[in-house]
Amino acid sequence: MLNRPKKSLGQNFLHDQNILKIIVKQGNIKNNDQVLEIGPGTGNLTAHIISQKPKKIFLIEKDKVLSNELKKRFESKVEIITNDILEISSDFYKNKNFIIFGNLPYNISTKILTQFCLDEFLLVTKLVLMFQKEVADRIIAKVNTNKYGRLTILANWKFNIKKICDVSPNSFFPKPKVQSSILEFLPKKKKFLIKDPKNIGKVTNVFFSQRRKMIKKPINILFKKSFDYSKFNINPFDRPQNISIEKYFEITKEFENSLS
Ligand code: SAH
């Protein structure tokens, strides 16, 4: 018998077969695809992924007990990496092109997504990820709303994002306290050109660390010299949530130019 689910590792195992089928179907796995699953846990989703016969399956699971169970159950069908997804070096992603699945541990889901958005070596065909609904709502938020923020901008820089469905707490054991949502991320064919993605991270961080303040404050922090508001058609008295995604990209480019 497995140990009790660990709250500290965000362990809420998905057992709803309908939802598991929806997730795998959305991945549209072909025979020559490489799949990466984050936090496979007890292997509920893994079994469905294996049934689609991808070329290769990598699992990253931090919990040693679960990882050993997965080894016993799936043996040669998968390659298991017993580690923290946040500690995986960028080298691992080099020269691979993954379909990534993950019913993410909710306590670190925004960190995982941010890392995926900013890692230059991560090449993906598609991501199908489960978040708590509140976080998913922030990822797909519209400008001028309270949910719009850093995560919206980072995620939309690299991906076209679509919501697949909401998932009730009843689909999990143990039941989480919150609703969940599944999102699909497809890489943009043409990303807005940024020299170093970390700079979008930095710019959005400075703007949204004080999201109620007027934007002249973050602008003054980022741009030591003068800043031409009219060039961007924005107003120093706007709030961070009033600036469109594309304008954040343009401001980041301006920031990069100001550094050189
Ligand atoms: N995908 C499974 C389990 C989801 S629960 C299912 O749908 O049933 C989240 C899983 O992520 C757990 O197995 C947990 O041990 C694992 N996990 C938590 N933090 C992690 C981390 N930092 N890196 C990798 N896996 C992690």
58 pLDDT exceeds 60? Answer: yes
Bridge partners (DSSP) listed for residue 36: 58, 100
Give the residue extent of every domain in the chain. Answer: 7-187, 197-259
At residue 140, the 3 state secondary structure works out as: coil
Fold annotation for 7-187: Rossmann fold (3.40.50)
- Indicate which residue's Cα is closest to atom 20 of ligand 1: 62
pTM: predicted TM-score of the whole model, two decimal places: 0.95
Return the structure tokens found at 227.
């800043």
Q: How many CB atoms neighbour CB 83 within 10 A?
A: 14
**Residue 28, H or E segment:** none
Q: With a 6 A CB cut-off, is 63 part of the ligand 1 pocket?
A: yes
Closest CA to 67 of 58, 56, 76, 59: 59
Question: How close is the Cα of 91 to the center of ligand 1, in Å?
Answer: 22
CATH number of 197-259: 1.10.8.100
* Cα 161 → chain centroid: 10
pLDDT tens digit string along 167-216?
A: 999 999 999 999 999 999 999 999 999 999 999 999 999 999 999 999 99
Lowest pLDDT segment from 2-6, 54-58, 238-242, 243-247:
2-6
pLDDT tens digit string along 90-141?
A: 999 998 999 999 999 999 999 999 999 999 889 899 999 999 999 999 999 9
Average pLDDT over every residue of 226-246 = 96
The residues near 4 (Cβ < 8 Å, ≥ 6 apart) are: none
At residue 250, the 3 state secondary structure works out as: helix
Q: With a 6 A CB cut-off, is 137 part of the ligand 1 pocket?
A: no
1 pLDDT exceeds 70? Answer: no
Residue 209 near residue 150 (C-beta atoms within 8 A): no
Query: Which of 13, 83, 86 to mutate to test ligand 1, by most ligand atoms within 8 A of the CB atom?
Result: 13
Closest CA to 198 of 157, 231, 229, 227: 157
Average pLDDT over every residue of 30-40 = 97
- Indicate which residue's Cα is closest to atom 5 of ligand 1: 11
3 pLDDT exceeds 80? Answer: no
Mean pLDDT, the chain, rounded, equals 96
According to the model, what pLDDT value does residue 204 have? 97
